[in-house]
Each structure stands twice: as structure tokens, then as C-alpha cells.
Amino acid sequence: MTEIFETVVSEIIRLVRTQMARTIRSQHRPISKILLVGGFGSSQYLLTRFKNEFETGNVTVMRSPNAWTAVVRGAVIKELAASNPNMNWNVHSRVSRATYGIACMHPFQAGVHPEHLKSWDNFEVRNMCHRSSRWFVRRGQQINEREPIRVGFYRVVPLNSTFIFTDVVYENLDDVAPGYISDNCRKLGVLTTDLSAIPKWKFERKTGGDYVERYHIEFSIIYTFYAAHFDVKFEFQGSTYSSVRLDLADTTTREARR
């Protein structure tokens, strides 16, 4: 895969070396830092290549945490500063372009959930909507990477479970997102949560309406949004774990509950 980018990266490195030489000649002083910005600037491969090429002396290669939107942020701040030079401007948050969430089990509500999504749950001893939506961010919502979004769930699982769960992450572009996963929801990827490292004695046991004992596991998923991606972790009984990943692929999933 890296061979695809190497031609472009090599040319960028050549151009940067030329620009550095010209700058040193004109400014009569060395260059100490290289800052990567822009969409390609967020590439881990580009960052690694730059570090290997340029961090051989006193030069430090850095990448903005908002590399994807750094150029746009600069343009916005420049125009705002021009309109009111007495103010100190900064971009503190962004607006989500879409609604994102997962499917979960939720008590069935007649008139709200479609009848074909209704199913009887032996543990809950009531009808549930098995494709109810749990949106963790909505279209038009302001999001800030310094303010992670925490969404609570619980799962009812057999005592012999593997404790590795998968959920499809959906994207919806409607102005008002539906209360269930409809045909307008596009599959964005699959979220895998691995609870297998947690000692089983920490999980609460409950007996359902069918008199079968299962684990009742309450936890939170923590989403942190950046310029071009979001990171995911989960929290259980006050401890945060990083054994969560998002894969851009489909799989058979078992729904969480809320």
C-alpha cells in the first residue's frame, strides 16, 4: 500500500528540501520546525517519512492535532481578525455534518416504532424494538474535541459469553434523525468492544423473566471527535479502557440496550 504514496511523498520531500534551502539562504538562520497541516498532513505515513528524512539534526517535525481543518481554521480566523482586529479569535468547536449512532434494544412504543421491529424479550418480559436508534451525536450539533461525548448502555449476556461485542455504527443525513434504524441510515463501520479483560466477578448477575441467570453489564462508550475522525473508548465502573476499535466493515452484531 505504501508504494502507492511513495512517489508523491518523495516529491513532497524534495520540494520541502528545496524550500528549506531557499529559506535558510534568504533568512540567514536555520529551520528548527516543520509543521504538517491539511488532509494529507494528517497521514501517519507522511509523518513517519518526514521524521526519518528531516529529524537528523535540530529539526523537529510536528503535526497539528487538527491537521485536516488547520488551513480552513486559519482562513476563518484571518477573515474574522480582518473584520474586527481588536478581538482574539479562535475556533473552539465544529458542527457535525451528520448524525451518528448505533442500533440498540429499547422498550417498544406503539406509534413510534414500526410493528415489524417489535419482538418479545424473555429477559425483560415485554416487547422490545430491536432496531431502536441510539444517536451519540446529531447533525448540526456543536462538537469539541476537549469535551468527549459519553453514552451509557447495558448488555444482558449469557454467563458463557466471550464478552466481545460488535455494533454497527450508522450515519444519517436527515435534519431530524429517526427513532429507529431506517433505510436512510448508512452503515459507516463496526464498533468492537472487548470486555474480556475485566474480571467476571465485577459483572452483576440478574435472573430474567424466563428464570435464566445472565450477566447485566452497564458501561459507557466515550467518543472524542477530531477534524477527520473520532476515537472511541469505554468506561466500566469508573475505569476507562481503550480496547475499542472501529472497522469500516460489516458483520453480524448483537444489539446493546438502553
Instruction: Dump the DSSP string for 28-83.
Output: SS---EEEE-STGGG-HHHHHHHHHHHTTSS-EEEE-TTGGGHHHHHHHHHHHHHH
Is 114 within a domain? yes
Is 239 within a domain? yes
Say yes or no: 108 and 75 in one domain. no
Say yes or no: 137 and 17 in one domain. no
Highest average pLDDT, of 25-29, 98-102, 111-115, comes from 98-102
Is 26 within a domain? yes
Q: Is 238 helix (H, G, I), strand (E, B) or coil?
A: coil
Q: How confident is the model at residue 251 (pLDDT cuts 50, 70, 90)?
A: very low
Which pLDDT score, from 0 to 100, does residue 203 have?
A: 92
CA dist., res. 145 & res. 31, Å (int): 31
**Phi, psi dihedrals of residue 49, rounded to the nearest 5°:** -65, -40
Total length of the chain:
258
Residue 101's Cβ-count burial label (10 Å; 0-12, 13-18, 19+) is: buried
Which pLDDT score, from 0 to 100, does residue 215 have?
A: 92
- Which residues fall within 8 angstroms of residue 186, CB to CB, at 6 or more apart? 170, 171, 172
Q: How confident is the model at residue 214 (pLDDT cuts 50, 70, 90)?
A: very high
Whether the per-residue pLDDT at 185 is higher than 70: the answer is yes
CATH number for position 130: 2.60.34
The tally of domains found in the chain comes to 2
Which residue range(s) make up the domain with 210? 95-257
Say yes or no: 201 and 244 in one domain. yes
Is 90 within a domain? no
Say yes or no: 126 and 53 in one domain. no
From 60-74, 85-99, 206-220, 244-258, the region with the lowest mean pLDDT: 244-258
Residue where a domain terminates, one of 20, 50, 83: 83
Is 205 within a domain? yes
Residue where a domain terminates, one of 83, 113, 133: 83
Is 171 within a domain? yes
Q: How confident is the model at residue 201 (pLDDT cuts 50, 70, 90)?
A: very high
- What digits encode the pLDDT tens for the residues 61-94? 887 666 555 555 665 655 566 666 666 655 566 6
pTM summary value: 0.62
CA dist., res. 170 & res. 184, Å (int): 10
Grid cell for residue 58: 535540530
CA dist., res. 182 & res. 236, Å (int): 30
Say yes or no: 73 and 177 in one domain. no
Say yes or no: 109 and 237 in one domain. yes
Grid cell for residue 77: 480566523
Which pLDDT score, from 0 to 100, does residue 252 have?
A: 44
Which pLDDT score, from 0 to 100, does residue 23 have?
A: 81
CA dist., res. 2 & res. 9, Å (int): 10
Residue where a domain terminates, one of 83, 105, 124: 83
Residue 44's Cβ-count burial label (10 Å; 0-12, 13-18, 19+) is: exposed
Beta carbons of 38 and 74 less than 8 angstroms apart? no
Q: Give the type of residue at 255.
A: E
Which pLDDT score, from 0 to 100, does residue 3 have?
A: 66
Say yes or no: 54 and 145 in one domain. no
Beta carbons of 168 and 190 less than 8 angstroms apart? yes
Say yes or no: 79 and 99 in one domain. no
From 35-39, 100-104, 246-250, the region with the lowest mean pLDDT: 246-250
Is 76 within a domain? yes
Say yes or no: 236 and 134 in one domain. yes
Say yes or no: 21 and 141 in one domain. no
Instruction: Name the H helices within the chain.
Output: 2-27, 44-54, 70-83
Across the range 164-191, mean pLDDT stands at 87
Distance of CA 157 to the CA centre of its chain: 25
Is 88 within a domain? no
Work out the mean pLDDT of the chain and round it to a whole number.
80
Higher pLDDT, 199 or 87: 199
Higher pLDDT, 76 or 158: 158
Say yes or no: 20 and 68 in one domain. yes
Whether the per-residue pLDDT at 237 is higher than 50: the answer is yes
Say yes or no: 66 and 118 in one domain. no
